Amino acid sequence: MASPELLRAFERQADWCRKLEARFTADVVETLADQLRSGAPLATLLSEWPGDPSADAVPLRLCGALHALALDPDSALSALYPPRSTTLDRAAFVEKLDAALRSDPAFFERMLRQPPQTNEIGRSAVLLGGFATVAIDTGLPLALLEIGASAGLNLRWDRYRFDLGVQSWGDVASTVRIASTWRGSPPALPATIEIAERAGCDEAPLDPRSASDRRTLLAYCWPEQRERVERLRAALELASSDALAVECADAAQWLERQLEKRRPNVATVVYHSIVWHYLSAPTQQAARAAIEQAGQRATDAAPLAWLALEFAVEGQPPELTLTRWPGGARQRLATAHPHGADVVWSGAP
C-alpha cells in the first residue's frame, strides 16, 4: 500500500491536469493512484519514496515513463494514447501497465530516478516580458544565463514568433510560433532585443540533436495537448541546426563560475522557469548567494538581473519576478499559466 503522501501527490497532480485541460493525463494519473491503493504491481515498484513525492513530481515521472513507451508506434501502449485514442480505456491500460512493469522494471526505475524534463517553450512568452524590461531599462545587449536549461530551448527564445493577443514579436519566418494571452499592464516590447551571449546548465542536459533525448522531452509533454507536442517538435528541429550546448553542471557551482566573468556594457540575466523547487536546499542557498554576491559587484555599465518564473504559493499560478542590481530592487512582474498560455501583468513592486 502506497503512503498517504504519495497518494496525495497523485491526487494533486490529477487536479492540476484537469485545471490545465489535460483530461487524458488526469485519467492516467487517477488510474495509477487506484493501482497504488490496490496493492497492484505498481505499488511494489513505488512502495516507498525517499523524498517529498509532490516536490519531486513523482506522478509526472511515471507519466513520462509511460508516454515514452507509447511514443513507440509498435508498443502495446501506443494504441491507447493520443493521437490514436483520445479517451483512456482504463481496463486495457492497467493490463498493458502490468505487462510493462513485468517485462522491464529497470526502465521504470531509471525513469523514476530522473526529474521531469519538459523544457516548455511556452514559458518563453512569460520570460519575454522580463527580458524586454531589462533591455529597455538598460539599453544594453543581454547575456543570457539559464539554470535548469534542459535542452536549451528557452535559451533560443529570440528565434521564435510570439502571438501575444494585442501584439506580436519575434522572427516572422520562424517555424516555432507561441500563442499567449497577455492581460493587465504588459511591458513594452522593443523591435529587437540584442543577445550578446547565451549559456545554460542542467544536472542532466538533453541534446536536441539526439533522437533519444528528443523522445525524452516529448515523453514529458502531455500527449492530448497536440499543439504543445507539435510546437515542441518544431523547437527541437530548430535547435538541432545550431551548435549551442547546455553544460552538465550543478546550478550553484556553474553560476559562481559564470558570474565571476566581467561583461562590460552588457546586462547579464540569470533566469530559470519551474526549476527552483527541483534544486536541493543547499544548492538553492549557494545559487542565491552567488547571484547576490555578483549583484554587489554590478554597475550601471554592467548590471545584473535575476528573472524567475516559479511557484510561490502551493496551488496558485507561478509568478514572474525580476530582481535587478545595482540596488537589488525586486518586482513581481506577472502571474502566469504554468505553460505560458495566459499571463496577467502587474509590474508591482
3-state secondary structure the chain: CCCHHHHHHHHHHHHHHHHCCCHHHHHHHHHHHHHHHHCCHHHHHCCCCCCCCCCCCHHHHHHHHHHHHHCCCCCCCHHHCCCCCCCCCHHHHHHHHHHHHHHCHHHHHHHHHCCCCCCCHHHHHHHHHHHHHHHHHHCCCEEEEEECCCCCHHHCHHHCEEECCCCEEECCCCCCEEECEEEECCCCCCCCCCEEEEEEEECCCCCCCCHHHHHHHHHCCCCCCHHHHHHHHHHHHHHCCCCCCCEECCHHHHHHHHHHCCCCCCEEEEEEECCHHHCCHHHHHHHHHHHHHHHHHCECCECEEEEEEECCCCCCCCEEEEEEECCCEEEEEEEECCCCCEEEEEEEC
* pLDDT in the model for residue 40: 87
Name the residue with cell 494504441. 79
Query: Would you say residue 106 lies in a domain?
Result: yes
* pLDDT in the model for residue 1: 66
Are 225 and 81 within one domain?
A: no
* pLDDT in the model for residue 135: 98
* Final residue before a domain boundary, out of 59, 79, 113: 113
Are 231 and 87 within one domain?
A: no
Please check whether residue 138 is in contact with residue 267, taking contact to mean a CB–CB distance below 8 angstroms: yes
Tell me the three cell numbers of residue 116: 521531469
| 249-250-256-259 Cα dihedral, nearest 10 degrees | 60
Are 164 and 38 within one domain?
A: no
Are 69 and 85 within one domain?
A: yes
Buried/exposed 153-171: b ≥16 CB within 10 Å, e otherwise: bbbbbbbbbbbbeeeebbe
* Final residue before a domain boundary, out of 113, 135, 150: 113
Strand bridging mode 329-336 / 161-163? unpaired
* pLDDT in the model for residue 349: 52
Query: Would you say residue 63 lies in a domain?
Result: yes
Give burial (CB, 10 Å; 0-12/13-18/19+) of 284. Answer: middle
- In a structure prediction context, what are the per-residue pLDDT tens digits for the chain, which is 349 residues long? 688 999 999 999 999 999 999 999 999 999 999 999 988 899 988 888 988 999 899 999 999 999 999 999 999 999 999 999 999 999 999 999 999 999 999 999 999 998 898 899 999 999 999 999 999 999 999 999 999 999 999 999 999 999 998 899 999 999 999 999 999 999 999 999 999 999 999 999 999 999 999 999 999 999 999 999 999 999 999 999 999 999 999 999 999 999 999 999 999 999 999 999 889 999 999 999 999 999 999 999 999 999 999 999 877 899 999 999 999 999 999 999 999 999 999 975 5
Strand bridging mode 168-170 / 161-163? antiparallel
Query: Would you say residue 101 lies in a domain?
Result: yes
Are 14 and 130 within one domain?
A: no
The candidate with the shortest Cα–Cα distance to 75, out of 42, 59, 99, is: 99
Paired with 182 in beta bridges are 343
Query: Would you say residue 277 lies in a domain?
Result: yes
Residue 294: which domain range? 121-208+219-348
* pLDDT in the model for residue 47: 81
Are 223 and 312 within one domain?
A: yes
Are 52 and 167 within one domain?
A: no
* pLDDT in the model for residue 17: 96
Query: Would you say residue 286 lies in a domain?
Result: yes
On the question of a cis peptide bond just before residue 53, with omega within 30 degrees of 0, the verdict is no
Are 174 and 204 within one domain?
A: yes
Query: Would you say residue 42 lies in a domain?
Result: yes
On the question of a cis peptide bond just before residue 83, with omega within 30 degrees of 0, the verdict is yes
Are 159 and 43 within one domain?
A: no
Are 96 and 154 within one domain?
A: no
Question: At a CB cut-off of 8 Å and minimum separation 6, what does 237 contact?
Answer: 175
Amino acid letter, residue 149? A
Are 30 and 179 within one domain?
A: no
Are 286 and 180 within one domain?
A: yes
* Final residue before a domain boundary, out of 113, 138, 168: 113
* Interatomic CA distance for residues 113 and 2, integer angstroms: 18
Query: Would you say residue 214 lies in a domain?
Result: no
Buried/exposed 222-231: b ≥16 CB within 10 Å, e otherwise: bbbbeebbeb
Total domains in the chain come to 2
Query: Would you say residue 213 lies in a domain?
Result: no
Please check whether residue 319 is in contact with residue 332, taking contact to mean a CB–CB distance below 8 angstroms: yes
Please check whether residue 155 is in contact with residue 211, taking contact to mean a CB–CB distance below 8 angstroms: no
